[in-house]
Structure 1
Amino acid sequence: MNQKAIKAWIMYDWANSAYATTVLAAVLPVFYASVAAATLDTDTAASYLAYTHSIGMLCVALLTPLLGTLADLSGRKGDFLRVFAIIGVLATLGFSAIGEGDWFLASALLVISTIGFAGGNTFYDAMLPDLVPMERRDMISSKGYAYGYIGGGLLLAVNLLMIQQPGWFGMSSTLAGTRLAFISVSLWWLLFSIPIFRHAPRRPASPDLPGTWKGYAAVGVRRLRQTFRQMRRFPQLIRMLVAFWFFNDGINTIILMATIYGTSIGIGTADLMLALLLTQFIGFPCTLLLGAWAQRWGAKQVLIVSLSVYICIVILGYFMTQAIHFYVLAGVVGVVQGVSQSTARSLFSNLMPAGRTGEYFGFVNITGKFSSIFGPFVFGYVGQITGSTRWGILSLIFFFIAGIAVLLTVKVQKGMQDATRADQEEERNRSVGAPGKSSNVRFT
């Protein structure tokens, strides 16, 4: 294994998690409502922000499967990651220039930064099989998420100080501190991405690699169609994907709605932000520890246990009444959130043909984004018809129970054999079809 490349891969999670924690979770929602959309009423501002997130994810869902195919053909996933990361960095930097009432510009930058962040993660995830053998993927995947927690948490702590104590940083106001926070996220993301820019793994280019962008598009579309048709050859991967649709929707809904839910039952903003920090710092050691358990006992088993804990989280959330309860739940989420996501990523990588991970992670990305609309919808609809967000949070049990039920049917060893067989067949076909491979005589 290339240790430099592995360390660089882990460091990228440290780099871009600053965007996830500071921009997406903590600072941007408040900044959007109070500054960018200050000329709009509160409900309209919230709707515009929700629509913006949807548009950004839709763009990612439509782009990444084709781009993943092209990355597989060229063997240069690192180059695609670099492009998307820089797009995200520049868009994040642009938030620092947003003025009062600039909601359209803020929305445009959020769409662009979402494309950079989520699109880059598609190629980042797809690098894992290129870097690490199957028996080490659970641990390395967990390390990525763990370092993401600590990196994102450290910068978030500094960013909250920038906003709440702007004078400590030479800033004149909270707004100036918020602008500095956006600048710090973009610089952090760029600086700690340099290792993966330098050491990203490369695979040999496919013989199908075209020489023009038009040819790239044609071959990419053709390969993407093949991917859809060939999915039936990997029934265990399909089962894992269906399970992922359910439990990932539940996890994402908890992440997106936790702050709103806490606010609705009377928990203060300061407690909510501190609980978010608690999740980050508990997530670091727990993801490493449980990642080691996954390597020893199996990713599927550890994933099932972590999803079972989520069921307990939802039940306890229903009965929550005080800030201390929210802190406890935030801590428990920190224990299982990282390992549930990291083991899912490593399981996917083991069930995919190694030569087409860009395509298949792109497919996971597009279907995952579309499936993720149901959790928030169910939460909102149940809360609306019952008149209580408590029933909305309790309704998320369905997603975890369904995810566990489907996950129990996944035969991991059989799926790994299917993926290996597909790689071997593709390699044989490539060798037979390549000029000069079957004979020492070459005709021109």
Structure 2
Amino acid sequence: MLASLKNTKKVQNAWAMYDWANSVYSLVITSTIFPVYFNSVTKGLNANDTVDFFGFEIVNTVLYSYSISFSFLIIALISPILSGIADASGKKLQFMKFFAYLGSLSCIALFFFDGNNLEWGICFSVLASVGYAGSIVFYNAYLPEITTPDKYDLLSAKGFALGYIGSVILLVINLLMIQFPSWFMLSDDGMAARLSFLITGLWWAGFSQIPFRVLPHNPFGKDIKKEFLLKGYHEIRKVWNEVKQITVMYRFLASFFFYSMGVQTVMYLAATFGDKELGLPGDQLIMTILIIQIVAIAGSYFFAFISKKFGNKQSLVIMVLIWVGICAGAYYVYSVYEFFALAFVVGLVMGGIQSLSRSTFSKLIPRSSTDHASYFSFYDVTEKLAIVLGTFSYGFIEQITGSMRNSALSLGIFFLVGLGFLLLVTIPKKGLDTERA
């Protein structure tokens, strides 16, 4: 069955459509409208913007940073065993569905967050994040099952490009609602923002039906047994022992960990930086993220082309160096036009580094392996732990220094460490054979 799935256009297009479905969460909830709305409805009368969260006094932006860290810590802890179960039982698609519905329903629940119920907003934003991150583990694991190594880069880029296009379309609609609420018979921009969370959840759940109906349930025909929980544990332990023997893989994961600390933190907290450090209004912040998304579409394909010409490693090295420059530049940004220019550069490398990282890791999985979810769990756990530490350190540095500029500058250190590990990696062009590298 698996051989018939390779390079099947219908399956590949359906797989890529999950990027279209879920990326609206990443843009609307994590990057643009929700952070701006959250800051707006939790902004206190005092200069410190402190809020009361379950009896604890904390700065609103610090709380938001920590909530992101917490959500990805949860998924980092549970995804390895879940992916092991998915590989052992052939239930990859079922797990993907569960987390997708958890995330989309949590987005819908955010419609009821109005600032007076802070705990509600934080709890469901965390659950939405868990749903998003959890579904991605199993989604990514399909990549080596539906195409051949020579097409990993292009198909991965296609998924990210579709995600950026879909999320931009929905963001424009949401932006129109926020800017002109009367056009949509809404009382104010706050209601428009809350409605955008509802629409995001419906979009995510609705378009997910395309991959859910087309992607194979059990491509390797694995025998589903009652003791799959125990088998899941053995599966992940087996893959971990294999990963330790593949030098190129754990070196790449080390590099990916450090540069992802920077990439993902920028993605999640760029809007709060513009709001707090530059005092940009909500419409300009959303416009900034819109610039990033549009440029990222071209960036995904551009760096896929560069990797085809010069190789994945060289492309990744170039992008990491650009990211170092971005972190340094953020420290000195003071005007809206400088912020827009920086956003353009971020967009160029944002799409490229995410797409190419995923396809590069796919090439490092032994071609004889059928444990793709388990392998990708290590990739995703690496990314999630990077988000945990990246967003936590960002919030912590802001808390002790009082400035997000220092937080942004510190991210450059993570990129430099990631670059060091990346230079030690030799990436095969057509995938790893069964021998351990």
Instruction: Select which of 112, 134, 149 maps to 2:164.
Output: 149
Whole-angstrom distance in 1 between the partners of 2:189 and 2:265 = 30
Alignment partner of 1:412: what SS? coil
- Which residue of the partner structure matches residue 262 of structure 2? 250
- Cα contact 1:311–1:400 (8 A) shared by 2: yes
Deviation at 1:210, TM superposition (A): 4.8
- Which residue of the partner structure matches residue 361 of structure 2? 348
After TM superposition, the structure 1 = structure 2 runs for residues 120-139 of structure 1, keeping only pairs within 5 Å, are: 120-139=135-154
Deviation at 1:409, TM superposition (A): 1.1
Percent identity, aligned pairs only, is 32
Deviates more, 1:133-142 or 1:152-161: 152-161
Instruction: Select which of 287, 307, 312 maps to 1:299.
Output: 312
1:328-383: CA deviation from partner (whole Å, max 9, x where unpaired): 11001111111111111011111123411211211222233223343345545656
- Which residue of the partner structure matches residue 32 of structure 2? 26
After TM superposition, the structure 1 = structure 2 runs for residues 303-322 of structure 1, keeping only pairs within 5 Å, are: 303-322=316-335
1:171-199: CA deviation from partner (whole Å, max 9, x where unpaired): 12223212321121112112221210111
Question: Is the alpha carbon distance of 1:402 and 1:47 closer, same or farther for their aligned partners in structure 2, counting shifts above 3 Å?
Answer: closer
- Cα contact 1:300–1:343 (8 A) shared by 2: no
Indicate yes or no: 2:428 matched with 1:413: yes
Whole-angstrom distance in 1 between the partners of 2:278 and 2:337 = 12
Question: Is the alpha carbon distance of 1:99 and 1:272 closer, same or farther for their aligned partners in structure 2, counting shifts above 3 Å?
Answer: closer
Instruction: Select which of 340, 355, 360 maps to 1:327.
Output: 340
- Which residue of the partner structure matches residue 278 of structure 2? 266
- Which residue of the partner structure matches residue 55 of structure 2? none
Instruction: State TM-score, norm by structure 1.
Output: 0.86
Question: Is the alpha carbon distance of 1:118 and 1:186 closer, same or farther for their aligned partners in structure 2, counting shifts above 3 Å?
Answer: same
- Cα contact 2:38–2:115 (8 A) shared by 1: no
Deviation at 1:200, TM superposition (A): 0.8
- Cα contact 1:246–1:399 (8 A) shared by 2: yes
Question: Is the alpha carbon distance of 1:277 and 1:199 closer, same or farther for their aligned partners in structure 2, counting shifts above 3 Å?
Answer: same
1:61-102: CA deviation from partner (whole Å, max 9, x where unpaired): 122111111222233422321221112111111112334522
Alignment partner of 1:395: what SS? helix
Whole-angstrom distance in 2 between the partners of 1:64 and 1:385 = 32
1:237-287: CA deviation from partner (whole Å, max 9, x where unpaired): 000000011111111222233233333442412322211111111111221
Whole-angstrom distance in 2 between the partners of 1:82 and 1:291 = 29
Gaps of 5+ in 1: 423-444
- Cα contact 2:363–2:429 (8 A) shared by 1: no
The amino acid across from 1:25 in the alignment is: S
1:288-337: CA deviation from partner (whole Å, max 9, x where unpaired): 22223323432222111111111222222232221111101100111111
Indicate yes or no: 2:210 matched with 1:195: yes
Whole-angstrom distance in 2 between the partners of 1:171 and 1:11 = 31
The amino acid across from 1:11 in the alignment is: M
1:188-223: CA deviation from partner (whole Å, max 9, x where unpaired): 1122212101111342233xx4522xx111111122
- Which residue of the partner structure matches residue 3 of structure 2? none
Whole-angstrom distance in 1 between the partners of 2:107 and 2:247 = 40
Indicate yes or no: 2:217 matched with 1:205: no
- Which residue of the partner structure matches residue 7 of structure 1? 13
Deviation at 1:5, TM superposition (A): 0.9
Question: Is the alpha carbon distance of 1:385 and 1:103 closer, same or farther for their aligned partners in structure 2, counting shifts above 3 Å?
Answer: closer
Gaps of 5+ in 2: 1-6, 52-57
Question: Is the alpha carbon distance of 1:302 and 1:363 closer, same or farther for their aligned partners in structure 2, counting shifts above 3 Å?
Answer: same
Question: Is the alpha carbon distance of 1:266 and 1:34 closer, same or farther for their aligned partners in structure 2, counting shifts above 3 Å?
Answer: closer
- Cα contact 1:23–1:182 (8 A) shared by 2: yes
Instruction: State TM-score, norm by structure 2.
Output: 0.88
Relative contact order (C-alpha < 8 Å, sep 6+): which is higher? Answer: 2
Whole-angstrom distance in 2 between the partners of 1:218 and 1:375 = 33
The amino acid across from 1:65 in the alignment is: P
- Which residue of the partner structure matches residue 16 of structure 1? 22
After TM superposition, the structure 1 = structure 2 runs for residues 37-436 of structure 1, keeping only pairs within 5 Å, are: 41-42=50-51, 43-201=58-216, 202-206=218-222, 209-212=223-226, 215-269=227-281, 270-353=283-366, 354-379=369-394, 389-413=404-428, 416-418=431-433, 420-421=434-435
Whole-angstrom distance in 2 between the partners of 1:388 and 1:54 = 19
Whole-angstrom distance in 2 between the partners of 1:140 and 1:13 = 11
- Cα contact 2:72–2:387 (8 A) shared by 1: no
Deviation at 1:25, TM superposition (A): 1.5
- Cα contact 1:237–1:415 (8 A) shared by 2: no
- Cα contact 1:383–1:392 (8 A) shared by 2: yes
- Which residue of the partner structure matches residue 54 of structure 2? none
Larger Rg: 1
Deviates more, 1:279-288 or 1:116-125: 279-288
Whole-angstrom distance in 1 between the partners of 2:379 and 2:120 = 30
- Cα contact 2:69–2:387 (8 A) shared by 1: no
Deviation at 1:109, TM superposition (A): 1.7
Deviates more, 1:50-59 or 1:217-226: 50-59
- Cα contact 1:382–1:391 (8 A) shared by 2: yes
